[in-house]
Amino acid sequence: MKATIITIGDEILIGQILDTNSRYISRALNAHGIVVAERTSIGDNRAQIIETLDRALAQSEVVIITGGLGPTKDDITKHTLCDYFGSTLRYDEREAEHIRTMLEVRNIAFNELNRGQAMVPECCTVLHNAHGTAPGMWFEREGRVVISLPGVPFEMQHLIDDEVMPRLCKQFELREIVHRTMITFGIAESILAERIAAWEDALPEYLHLAYLPAPNVVRLRLSAYEVEGKEVSREIDAQFTKLQEIIPNNIAGFEEASVEELVHNILTEKGLTLAVAESCTGGVIASKFTAQAGASTYFLCGVVAYSNDIKCNVLGVKYADIERVGAVSEAVAMSMADGARAISGANFAISTTGIAGPTGGSAEKPVGTVWIGISTPTKTYAVLKHCGTDRSQIISRASAYAIALLYEELKSIK
C-alpha cells in the first residue's frame, strides 16, 4: 500500500523552517508496512493544495497532510479540505472545551479565533489533539484516506502515534517493510563497493541495497517492500553473515544505530562512565549523548571550555602549554581529556580543541584544524583531524570523529 505525504506552508518553500515532520511520518508509515511514494511541500495556496491532493489520491491509498491549521488567516488547509470534500463546517463542543481548558492553563482568554479552531468539517472524523488546539481530521473517499494534521511537530507526532497509525492498521491489511542496516567503518565507499561487488550481484531480486556514506562510516542498507517480514529478515541475516566473512574487520554494528548510540549501548552494558571536554565542538558532543534516554547512567559531565582560563582552571590544562604550543595542540587536547576524567572520575573522556572559523586560522593551523583527545584508564593520546572549511561542517565532523575514536577504543575492550 502506498502513501503520499504533503507538508503545507510558505515557510517551508522559502526555507524559513526545516521540514522534520515528513521524516517522522515516513518512519511511522514504514514501520507499519506502508510505502511512501512521494513527499511534497507546497505553499498555503488553495489551487496548489487541490491539485496536489488530486495527484496524491491518484497514486496512493493514504495521503497525510500537515500544516495550515492555525487560527490565523494565512492558514487555509481546513477550509480547502472542507470544500474539496463538499462539506460544511460545524462547531465541535468537545474540541471547544478542550481548547478552552488548554488556554486557561496559560491564562489566555478564549476568543473568536479559538472558536474558529473548534469548527470542523461535517464529513470528517475528528482526531483529538490532546497536546494542542488544532484538531486532526480524517476524511475518506472511495476507500482512500486523507488525514490532515497540525504542523507543530510534537502535536503531529502524538496524533500519528495515538490516532493515525492505529486506525490505518485497523482499516487496511498491511504487509511488511523490512529495512536492515549494517554499519561499516574505515573503508571508503568506492573500495567497499568493489570488494563486495560479487555479493551485491548475487542478492535476491527483492532485496534493494543502498550505500549511505558519512565521515569514517558507510552504512549498507538492505530493504524489502511489502513482504513477509520474518522470512525476509532470515534472508537478510544470512546475507549479512556472508558479508561479515568478506569484510570482517570493518563492521561497526547493525541497524539504524548512530555511532553515539553504539557508544551509549557499550557504556550502559559494561557499566562504564564518560566525561567530555569540548572547545571547538561547543557542546555538540555532550548534547548527542544526553539526547539519548538513559544517558544519565554513564554521562557524568561535559565541559565546554571555550576560554583558556576555563581550560586551565577547570580542566587543569597548563598555561605554559598553551603559551608554548597553543590551545589547538596535541598537548592541550590530552590535558583536556585527562582533566575531564579527573574532575568527574569517569572511566573515559574525550576532548576537542580546534579552529571552527571563520576567523582564527593561520598558515600553520588553518581553519578546520582539530585535535581530538582521548583519556582511558590505561592511556591518553590525541589525533589530528582536518575537518573542512565551513564552521558548521567543522563542528559536526569533529564531533563525529571524536565519537568514532571513542567507539574504536570501547570496541577493543573485552
**Closer residue to a second copy (CB): 291 or 413:** 291
What DSSP state is assigned to residue 32? T
| Binding residue (CB under 8 A) for a second copy from 76, 165, 247, 310 | 310
Q: CB count, 10 Å around CB of 54?
A: 10
- Smallest distance, Å, CB 299 to a second copy? 5
Q: Alpha carbon of 331 to those of 191, 339, 404: distances in Å?
A: 35, 12, 20
Largest CA distance in the chain: 77
Q: Which three cell numbers stand for residue 304?
A: 565546554
Q: Does 319 bind a second copy (CB under 8 A)?
A: no
User: With contact defined as beta carbons under 8 Å apart, do 183 and 217 qualify?
Assistant: yes
Binding segment (CB under 8 A) for a second copy, from list 71-79, 84-92, 235-243, 374-382: 71-79
- For the chain, the C-alpha Rg in angstroms (whole number) is 26
| Binding residue (CB under 8 A) for a second copy from 44, 163, 321, 409 | 44
Residue among 153, 136, 154 at smallest CA distance from 145: 136
| Binding residue (CB under 8 A) for a second copy from 314, 316, 330, 383 | 314
- Smallest distance, Å, CB 12 to a second copy? 7
Q: Does 108 bind a second copy (CB under 8 A)?
A: yes
**Closer residue to a second copy (CB): 88 or 206:** 206
- Smallest distance, Å, CB 247 to a second copy? 15
**Closer residue to a second copy (CB): 115 or 123:** 115
Give the integer Cα–Cα distance in Å for 157 and 67.
13
Angle at Cα 349 formed by Cα 345 and Cα 353, nearest 5°? 130
| Binding residue (CB under 8 A) for a second copy from 376, 388, 398, 407 | 388
Q: Which residues contact 25 (CB under 8 A, 6 or more apart)?
A: 5, 36, 64, 66, 156, 160
Determine the size of the site formed for a second copy (CB under 8 A).
Answer: 111
Q: Does 207 bind a second copy (CB under 8 A)?
A: no
SS3 139: strand
Q: Does 103 bind a second copy (CB under 8 A)?
A: yes
Q: Does 71 bind a second copy (CB under 8 A)?
A: yes
| Binding residue (CB under 8 A) for a second copy from 1, 10, 126, 261 | 10
Q: Does 291 bind a second copy (CB under 8 A)?
A: yes
Instruction: For residue 91, list its beta bridge partners.
Output: 119
Q: Does 92 bind a second copy (CB under 8 A)?
A: no
What are the contacts of 155-160 at 24+ separation with CB within 8 A?
A: 155/129, 155/131, 156/21, 156/24, 156/25, 156/66, 157/24, 158/129, 158/130, 158/131, 159/127, 159/129, 160/24, 160/25, 160/28
**Closer residue to a second copy (CB): 122 or 309:** 309
User: With contact defined as beta carbons under 8 Å apart, do 326 and 344 qualify?
Assistant: no
| Binding residue (CB under 8 A) for a second copy from 94, 101, 113, 366 | 113
User: With contact defined as beta carbons under 8 Å apart, do 26 and 36 qualify?
Assistant: yes
Q: Does 316 bind a second copy (CB under 8 A)?
A: no
**Closer residue to a second copy (CB): 125 or 308:** 308
**Closer residue to a second copy (CB): 125 or 396:** 396
Q: Does 42 bind a second copy (CB under 8 A)?
A: yes
Q: Does 26 bind a second copy (CB under 8 A)?
A: yes
Residues 219-258, interacting with a second copy (CB under 8 A): 221, 223, 256
| Binding residue (CB under 8 A) for a second copy from 344, 351, 352, 376 | 344
**Closer residue to a second copy (CB): 17 or 89:** 17
| Binding residue (CB under 8 A) for a second copy from 47, 106, 173, 202 | 106
**Closer residue to a second copy (CB): 18 or 202:** 18
Q: CB count, 10 Å around CB of 104?
A: 11
Q: Does 360 bind a second copy (CB under 8 A)?
A: yes
| Binding residue (CB under 8 A) for a second copy from 18, 58, 198, 363 | 18
User: With contact defined as beta carbons under 8 Å apart, do 70 and 37 qualify?
Assistant: no
Residue among 1, 78, 74, 4 at smallest CA distance from 41: 4
Q: Does 198 bind a second copy (CB under 8 A)?
A: no
| Binding residue (CB under 8 A) for a second copy from 79, 144, 175, 391 | 391
Q: Which three cell numbers stand for residue 377?
A: 584508564
| Binding residue (CB under 8 A) for a second copy from 286, 337, 382, 403 | 286
Give the integer Cα–Cα distance in Å for 14 and 33.
33
With cell 583536556, the residue in question is: 336
| Binding residue (CB under 8 A) for a second copy from 169, 212, 238, 325 | 212
